[in-house]
Structure 1
Amino acid sequence: MSNIPTITLNDGNKIPQLGFGMYQIPKHEDAVKALTQALNNGYRLIDTAEVYQNQGAFQEALKNSGVKREDVYLTTKLWVSNASFAKAEKAIDEDLKELGTDYIDLMLLHQPYGDVYGAWNALAAAKRAGKIRSIGLSNFYPDLYMNLELAHEDKPALNQIEINPWFQQTNDVKFFQGRDVAVEAWAPFAEGKGDIFNNEVLKEIAENHHKTVGQVILRWLVQRSIIVIPKSVHDERQKENMDIFDFELTREEMEKIRHLDKGGSQFFDHRDPAVIDDIFGESLKQLRDSE
């Protein structure tokens, strides 16, 4: 690995606390270039997904970088259209082939829709077979998580959810960490929404530490024991995002950031029926029609 700290999951496996996210890099050559660069810059946690359409970049970037497979922590996610036992079972094997690896370090249910229990059973079976080392969730609220935990023997190791200064999810983070489920943040910079990089509070804190606003946000997450996977295709920004372990935010600074919370998603509400139909409806229909 590198000098990035790790978090021990409830199954005993360790995950780096800072990684590289591959969301919104669908073009193969761009994904290969960005990922090769990230590996060369020291990133060892890589986060992709079926729906990102860039899983195929992994084996090529790994070869380009010269980094050993066993030194990389690879995460991918099962999409809604594969959310049943039979579909997930098939998809896992297809993912392994596309990724060019014989195991996945962490596989998540990407969304809490479809035949969640069937898909979860498939992930658990793949874990027992050695195809996956840890299994977890993405975008699950505490109530949905509890239903899954109570109904199944295999406990999720991690839940990946939206967390940024505008949407801090304090209660949910406390809930999951209190049940020994690691929390991972997607969209840590809220994709720039609300002019986040020019926020006066964050800029003042950044100046105090001779850091950037982006580094302050990542440090804020790390100090909350949250795993974070920022994405950048730019070499200098990738290096900047890694450079967050030589300073610490004070209690007062953490408190100032806490007051920036707007209490709502910066993207969409996963519980809104209209949103579910609009964003995930087609994938759910594909799942239904294929069963």
Structure 2
Amino acid sequence: MQQTMVKLNDGNLIPQFGLGVYMVPAGSETETAVYDALKMGIRHIDTAHAYQNERSVGQAINRAISEGIVSREDVWVTSKLWPSEYGEGKTAVAIDKMLDRLNVGHIDLLLLHQQFGDYKGAWQDMEKAVQAGKVHSIGISNFESNNLEDLMAAATIKPAVLQVECHPYWQQTELKNRIADYGTVIESWYPLGHGATDLLNEPIFTQLGQKYGKSNAQIVLRWHIQIGNIVFPKTTNPQHMKDNFDIFDFSLSDAEMAEIAKLDGKKRYYNVSLDEQIKTLGNWAPED
């Protein structure tokens, strides 16, 4: 199936649709999900050190390569550093450990997972990893406070992506305006609002689903594609994975996109302040 690509501010092309493996257990469950995704044509896998399944992601990719399903150049691998790994020198070590866990040669996109800790020191090491060819693109996740501008001012290589909650109820219009001058693009977690029925059952999605012969979820994912977001809905169910990916054979009209735009600002599903995040997550560190 032909899918769309997004050109990042560093010139690299990222598959706009991928598979996320957040909260997918390491081992056979992650390996099978990633292998199934690659077999059906999905070429972007989003993981993180905090997910504790990077080794399983790498094993699935290497299996698919060994069977001739993909080449390494076909697959885009994203992973993320945890704040306990931030700091000049410290982050360099963490990147090498990540490369060892993944065992896929290089990291296509490396993100700072959270917006606290020594993120500027970490960014310096990430830039060096790009120069060394260990990492191809770098970006950030969950930077929505003034820390975003603080990092942008310090960065020589501007973040290629910003991964945040984004869906029709929370379209991140203001945040997109803040990053527009840097060429940074939005990657969406919770692209389906965490599967919330209130979002998915919006009448506009039901109406459009009936018109195009698609599910409400497929309409939402198609909206993401057309508005320029990068998405990677999580599922381990092969049929759901196939359905999520089946969104490249139709297009929503400008008028239909405008109707969906009217839903903006209705709700976000993750409401935790920066102080609460620091308190809850600051002392936690993923295993090597």
Q: Same fold (TM over 0.5)?
A: yes
1:10 maps to what in 2? 9
Verify the 8 A CA contact 1:142 1:176 in the aligned structure 2.
Answer: no
Partner residue of 1:219 out of 210, 217, 222: 222
1:132 maps to what in 2? 135
Instruction: Find the residue that maps to 1:185 and give its secondary structure.
Output: strand
2:276 maps to what in 1? 274
Does residue 113 of structure 2 align to residue 114 of structure 1?
no
Shift of 1:185: 0.8
Verify the 8 A CA contact 1:62 1:68 in the aligned structure 2.
Answer: no
Q: 1:4, 1:30 → 2: CA distance? A: 25
Q: Which amino acid aligns with 1:213?
A: N
Of 107-116 and 66-75, more deviation after overlay is shown by 66-75
Q: Which amino acid aligns with 2:59?
A: E
Q: 2:127, 2:93 → 1: CA distance? A: 14
- The C-alpha deviation readout for 1:174-193, integer Å capped at 9, x for no partner, is 33234311211111011122
Q: 1:270, 1:110 → 2: CA distance? A: 16
2:72 maps to what in 1? 69
Shift of 1:255: 2.2
Q: Which amino acid aligns with 2:22?
A: Y
Pairing of 1:183-202 with structure 2 (within 5 A): 183-202=186-205
Verify the 8 A CA contact 1:112 1:138 in the aligned structure 2.
Answer: yes
Q: 2:193, 2:59 → 1: CA distance? A: 30
Shift of 1:281: 2.7
Structure 1 segments (4+ residues) deviating >3 Å: none
Q: Which amino acid aligns with 2:166?
A: I
Shift of 1:194: 4.6
How many positions carry a matched residue from both structures? Answer: 282
1:182 maps to what in 2? 185
Q: Which amino acid aligns with 1:181?
A: T
Please report the TM-score for the alignment, with normalisation by the length of structure 1. 0.91
CA RMSD of aligned residues (A): 1.8
Please report the TM-score for the alignment, with normalisation by the length of structure 2. 0.92
Q: Which runs of 5 or more residues in structure 2 are unaligned? A: none
- The C-alpha deviation readout for 1:96-120, integer Å capped at 9, x for no partner, is 0110122101100011110010111
Identity, % of aligned positions = 37
Q: Which amino acid aligns with 2:58?
A: Q
Shift of 1:84: 1.4
Instruction: Find the residue that maps to 1:93 and give its secondary structure.
Output: helix
Pairing of 1:1-291 with structure 2 (within 5 A): 3-65=2-64, 66=67, 67-141=70-144, 143-271=146-274, 273-278=275-280, 280-283=281-284
Q: Which amino acid aligns with 1:23?
A: Y
